Amino acid sequence: MKYICKQCTQEYTPTPQRIRCDCGGALWIDAKPRFSKADIIAHDFTMWRYAKAYPIDKAEINIAFNETITPLATAKIGQVDILVKMDSLMPTGSFKDRGAAMVINHLYAQGIRNISEDSSGNGGSAYAGYAAKGGLICNIFVPAGTSLGKTVQTRMYGARCFEVAGTREDVAQAAMNSSVTHDSHYVGHNWHPLFIEGVKSIAYEIWEQCGYRAPDNFIVPAGNGSLLAGAYLGFIELLRGGAIDKLPRLFGVQMTGIQPFVQQFNNEKITIDATDTLAEGIKIQRSSRMSEIIEFVRESKGGFITVSEPEIKAALHMMGKQGFFIEPTSAVAFAGIKRLLEMQQILAGQVTVGIITGNGLKATQTLQALMADGVDGE
Ligand SMILES: *Cc1c(COP(=O)(O)O)cnc(C)c1O
Ligand SMILES: [Zn+2]
């Protein structure tokens, strides 16, 4: 395995310290695996069922919850049938577990036993959970005011959780300093090339669950865009392997206040209007893999759109009433599907998958306050 930078083509031998290119670009795994039905390990019901597609060997896996394939349920947006990928049921309650599982095992194999990570919440809970499972020491730095559900969860896993005042960048800096302050290894999941390699598993699961076919559309909330990147990599490997005949159209949804992907995609100037949003999981002002992800989305013939705070609220209720208790950040995807249908960018009758990126139980306090508002979008 080698790391490669798509900006300047520099290659690196993986070490725990190397998480980005000297040029400032993000790193990717240089392999171009192809995957088809024959490569599935049929008796394994965990994400390691697709081990052939991953850069680390199944034999190297020391830390696992035997995380199972998450359900693909049906739901309706208005009159239109869609499918809902329930990553709210991952071991720590968000899709971040897919990436954390890969990174933690890789670091563990390289002798790392004390990690630090900065996160808006779910990344932190995921690393704390996997660190607890593997017996690693874990330090998590979160923005002050992060949902109690996530900080309590992180602390229950035995991690130290530091709430840092200031910008998201201040939080990252505090985590990066942890090698000095806490004798700890900084993970940097938004940069770490192994993170998206784990997220790829979502594409493989959806492909199997759709009857070994790609859906027409896959719609996700976009923060750093790691979920989009992972989904793209998984589906392109299936395309390369001849297992599907087209990529699904990938759509990233952001909120009106913070929409760097949307603006860059449309060749507009990036402006950050508001930092107060229900969607705390995607309050990211600049993605570490911006230009690459925009290219992936273009290649898939998808796009980026925004939704407003009232639309996010309405989507929370719309999903709740159908039995899905979801994090406000996840509601962005379903508000986005509604928008895309109205814009006729996607159509009824197509196979459209939205994802519940995080469990509503993580944000009970925020959701309680919303209900007290009495605003019901339906
Ligand atoms: C991290 C996160 C996202 C955004 O994922 P990116 O890979 O950063 O785009 C969306 N929803 C939830 C609940 C998250 O925790
Ligand atoms: Zn580079």
Residue from 190, 208, 72, 172 nearest 126 by CA = 190
Name the residue with the closest Cα to ligand 1, atom 14.
281
Which residue, 149, 166, 193, sits at the end of a domain? 193
Residue 65 lies in a domain: no
Q: Is 358 in the pocket of ligand 1 (CB under 6 A)?
A: yes
On whether both 214 and 352 belong to a single domain, the answer is yes
> Per residue of the chain (378 residues), what is the pLDDT tens digit?
999 999 999 999 999 889 999 999 999 999 999 999 999 999 999 999 999 999 999 998 999 999 999 999 999 999 999 999 999 999 999 999 999 999 999 999 999 999 999 987 899 999 999 999 999 999 999 989 888 888 999 999 999 999 999 887 888 899 999 888 888 999 998 999 999 999 999 999 999 999 999 999 999 999 999 999 999 999 999 999 999 999 999 999 999 999 999 999 999 999 988 778 898 888 888 899 999 999 999 999 999 999 999 999 999 999 999 999 999 999 999 999 999 999 999 999 999 999 999 999 999 988 998 888 765 544
Which ligand does the CA of 363 lie closest to? Answer: 1
Name the residue with the closest Cα to ligand 1, atom 4.
223
Residue 315 lies in a domain: yes
On whether both 127 and 271 belong to a single domain, the answer is no
Domain containing residue 270: CATH number: 3.40.50.1100
Name the residue range of residue 12's domain. 3-60
On whether both 113 and 240 belong to a single domain, the answer is no
Which ligand does the CA of 288 lie closest to? Answer: 1
On whether both 209 and 353 belong to a single domain, the answer is yes
On whether both 45 and 100 belong to a single domain, the answer is no
Residue 174 lies in a domain: yes
Residue 138 lies in a domain: yes
On whether both 82 and 218 belong to a single domain, the answer is yes
Which residue, 152, 170, 193, sits at the end of a domain? 193
Per-residue pLDDT of 240-292, as tens digits, reads: 999 999 999 999 999 999 999 999 999 999 998 877 889 888 888 889 999 99
Q: Is 224 in the pocket of ligand 1 (CB under 6 A)?
A: yes
pTM comes to 0.96
On whether both 225 and 135 belong to a single domain, the answer is no
On whether both 104 and 240 belong to a single domain, the answer is no
Q: Cα-flanking dihedrals φ and ψ of residue 322, to 5°?
A: -100, 5
Residue 286 lies in a domain: yes
- The CA R_g of the chain, rounded to the nearest whole Å, is 19
On whether both 100 and 86 belong to a single domain, the answer is no
Gap from CA of 110 to ligand 1 centroid (Å): 27
Which residue, 193, 220, 255, sits at the end of a domain? 193
On whether both 38 and 107 belong to a single domain, the answer is no
Rounded to the nearest 10 degrees, how much is the dihedral formed by the CA atoms of 42, 354, 64, 67?
Answer: -50
Residue 67 lies in a domain: no
Ion ligand 2 contact residues with beta carbon within 5 A: 5, 7-8, 10, 21, 23, 25
Residue 378 lies in a domain: no
Q: Is 226 in the pocket of ligand 1 (CB under 6 A)?
A: yes
Residue 377 lies in a domain: no
On whether both 245 and 346 belong to a single domain, the answer is yes
On whether both 30 and 124 belong to a single domain, the answer is no
Q: Is 84 in the pocket of ligand 1 (CB under 6 A)?
A: no
How many distinct structural domains can be found in the chain? 3
